[in-house]
């Protein structure tokens, strides 16, 4: 159970093997115990952990690189992985035959049962550099014979492996969420904190600023800012710019949550005690108040990530967000929104399934955390 620790919960302590008595347990331990009782949230946490793991090691996990293509395999349907129960049991996929159809300008594929391609772990395949540093050509799963067709989720118009692209998209889409939320958190903490702690005029001003941001329809903000990203910028720079734009729109909600928490806690005795001890305000906030609602912040953050992911999808759909050749779930989905996809290549909607799974899992985790962090909960 110690492996439960993931990126999202980096500071959630691993429960000690010998659990302290309830009365002595720290706040964190209590929360963790309550969280564990929520089965759905725990399962979701595993899923979220798995998704971020995928994002981190996408080069290794994907059977191909995101840009490996095969002209004779355009819009190839998914292959079924089968088990061969011969003397040496192994996995294999059948090959297919694609005949060009001059009417529809597509290939008609038929599965060729006689052709068998073995599938193995740590297969040799495309060369890549993990995180742009470590060169390798091993892939977690792949055909034993490099270059053989192996498309568990089919291929796209250029014959690129859809599964690999969804896996590569994980890195961009999930990190958009994380980075965007971090930026939003900084803004939200700063402004929400100041507002909640100082109250009075400062609070009034910050509240007006937040209201102001909430009153502007998001579309002009998106468009105005996304269009203002200079066309000469590199893909990476554009990516960060888009992420910042998303967070600029997302921070207001967080700021409001943090402010209301601050307002609640400010009148508690322990804060007064700290102030009477002569602690300066940043110490009061940093040492005494923040820890009291970290769990709430984490919960709100977890709930904010899916919003960012969906935001990225929507922006790409409008043609304003990330653009190919960058591969994100949003980019994959915006390329999949045609009838051809729905009729001829429905497997390209897999990116949509990835979005749904990731967003749901994050929501469940966030919900579970929020419930667990609630001190009134029995």
Partner 1 sequence: MAGYLVRRLLAMLPTVLLISLVSFLIIQLPPGDFLTTVVAKLQQQGQTVGSDQLAALRAQYALDKSPLEQYFRWMTNIVLHGDFGQSFQYNKPVSTLLGERLPLTLGLGLATWLIGWTVALIAGIYSAARRYSKLDYVITALTFLGLAVPGFLIALTVVYLEFKLFGVTLSGLVSPEFEDASWNLGKLLDLLNHLWLPVLVLASGGVAGTIRVLRANLLDELHKPYVTAARARGLDERKLLMRYPTRVALNPFIATIGWTIPALFDGEVLVASVLGLETTGPLLLNALKSQDMYLAGGIILIACVLTVIGTLISDLLLAAVDARVRIGYGGSSK
Partner 2 sequence: MSDPLSRRTFLRVSGLTLSASAVAGCSFFSTDAKKASGSGAAADAGAKESPVLSAMVKNGKLPPLEQRLPKNPMVIKPIQSPGKYGGVLQRGQIDRGATQNQYVEFAGLLEWTPTTPAEPGPGLAEKWEVLEDGKVYVFHLREGVKWSDGQPFTADDLMFAYEKEFLNKELNPVFPGWLAPGGKPGKFVKVDDHTLRMEFEVPHGLLLKYLCFIGLTGFGSSSTVLLPAHYLKQFHKDFISPAQLKTLMKKYPAPTWSDFFKGRRDIWKNADAPILGPWKLVAPLQGSGVTARLERNPYYWKVDEQGRQLPYIDSQQYTVMPAETLGLRAANGQLDLQVTDIQAEQLPLLIKNQESKGYKVNRWVAEPNTSINLNQSHPDPVLRALFQKVDFRAGLSHAINRKEMNDALFAGQGFIRHPCAQPEDEYFEKGMGQRFIEYDVNEANKRLDAAGLTQRGPDGMRLRPDGKKMQLVGRCFEVGVGIDAISVLEYAQRYWKAVGIDLVAKPMTPELWYEEIPHGDYDLVAYPPATILWDIDSLWYIPTNGLTYWAPKYGNWYGNPKDKFGLEPTGDIRKLQTLYDQLVTTADKDKRLDLGRQILKLHDQNVWIIGTVGTPFQPLIAAGDLRNVRPDAIASFRTHYENASSPEQMYFDSPEKHS
Neighbours of 356 (CB within 10 A): 12
374 binds partner 1 (CB under 8 A): yes
375 binds partner 2 (CB under 8 A): no
Choose, by CB under 8 A, the member of 135, 200, 325, 375 that binds partner 2: 325
Whole-angstrom CA distances from 355 to 110, 247, 304, 310, 361 are: 30, 19, 14, 8, 10
Residues 315 and 317: their CA atoms lie apart, in Å, by 5
**Contacted by 101, from partner 1, partner 2, none: CB < 5 to 8 Å by type:** partner 2
Neighbours of 162 (CB within 10 A): 24
| Contact (Cβ atoms closer than 8 angstroms) between residue 118 and residue 92 | yes
Report strand pairing: 90-101 vs 134-143: unpaired
Tell me which H or E stretch contains 126.
strand 106-130
Q: How far is CA 79 from the centre of its chain?
A: 27
| Contact (Cβ atoms closer than 8 angstroms) between residue 14 and residue 2 | yes
- Contacts with partner 2, 225-244, as mask; x by CB under 8 A: --x---xx-xx---------
Q: Which is nearer to partner 2, 38 or 155 (CB)?
A: 155
Choose, by CB under 8 A, the member of 85, 133, 276, 339 that binds partner 2: 339
Task: Give the interface size with partner 1 as a residue count (CB under 8 A).
Answer: 43
250 binds partner 1 (CB under 8 A): no
Choose, by CB under 8 A, the member of 19, 211, 268, 277 that binds partner 1: 211
Smallest gap from residue 281 Cβ to partner 1 (A): 26
Smallest gap from residue 174 Cβ to partner 2 (A): 23
Per the listing, tokens 């409008």 go with: 318
Residues of span 310-329 touching partner 1 by CB under 8 A: 310, 313-314, 317-318
Measuring CA to CA, which residue among 376, 373, 375 is closest to residue 41?
373
Measuring CA to CA, which residue among 268, 212, 221 is closest to residue 247?
221
Positions touching partner 1 (CB under 8 A) are 208, 211-212, 214-221, 223-225, 227-228, 306, 310, 313-314, 317-318, 333, 337, 339, 342-343, 349, 352, 355-357, 359-360, 363-364, 367, 370-371, 374, 376-378
Positions touching partner 2 (CB under 8 A) are 67, 69-72, 74, 100-107, 157-159, 227, 231-232, 234-235, 319-320, 323-325, 337-340, 343-344
């Amino acid at each position: 159970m110690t492996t439960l620790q993931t990126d999202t919960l980096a500071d959630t302590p691993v429960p000690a093997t010998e659990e302290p008595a309830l009365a002595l347990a720290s706040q964190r331990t209590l929360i963790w115990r309550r969280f564990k009782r929520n089965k759905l949230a725990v399962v979701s946490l595993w899923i979220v952990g798995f998704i971020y793991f995928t994002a981190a090691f996408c080069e290794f996990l994907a059977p191909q690189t995101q840009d490996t293509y095969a002209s004779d395999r355009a819009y190839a349907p998914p292959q079924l992985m089968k088990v061969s129960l011969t003397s040496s049991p192994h996995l294999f996929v059948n090959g297919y035959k694609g005949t060009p159809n001059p009417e529809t300008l597509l290939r008609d594929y038929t599965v060729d049962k006689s052709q068998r391609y073995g599938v193995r772990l740590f297969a040799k395949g495309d060369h890549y550099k993990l995180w742009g540093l470590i060169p390798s050509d091993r892939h977690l799963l792949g055909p034993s014979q490099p270059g053989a067709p192996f498309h568990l989720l089919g291929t796209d118009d250029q014959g690129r492996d859809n599964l690999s692209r969804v896996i590569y998209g994980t890195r961009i889409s999930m990190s958009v969420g994380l980075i965007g939320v971090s930026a939003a958190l900084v803004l939200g903490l700063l402004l929400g904190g100041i507002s909640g702690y100082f109250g009075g005029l400062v609070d009034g001003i910050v509240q007006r600023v937040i209201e102001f941001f909430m009153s502007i329809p998001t579309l002009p903000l998106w468009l105005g800012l996304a269009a203002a990203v200079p066309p000469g910028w590199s893909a990476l720079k554009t990516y960060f710019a888009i992420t910042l734009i998303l967070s600029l729109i997302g921070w207001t909600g967080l700021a409001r949550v943090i402010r209301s928490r601050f307002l609640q806690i400010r009148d508690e005795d322990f804060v007064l005690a700290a102030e009477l001890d002569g602690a300066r305000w940043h110490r009061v906030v940093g040492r005494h108040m923040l820890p009291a609602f970290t769990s709430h912040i984490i919960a709100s953050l977890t709930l904010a990530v899916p919003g960012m992911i969906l935001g990225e999808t929507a922006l790409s759909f409008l043609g304003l967000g990330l653009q190919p050749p960058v591969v994100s779930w949003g980019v994959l989905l915006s390329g999949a929104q045609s009838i051809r996809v729905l009729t001829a290549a429905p497997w390209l909607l897999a990116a949509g399934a990835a979005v749904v799974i990731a967003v749901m899992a994050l929501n469940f985790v966030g919900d579970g955390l929020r419930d667990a962090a609630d001190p009134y909960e029995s």
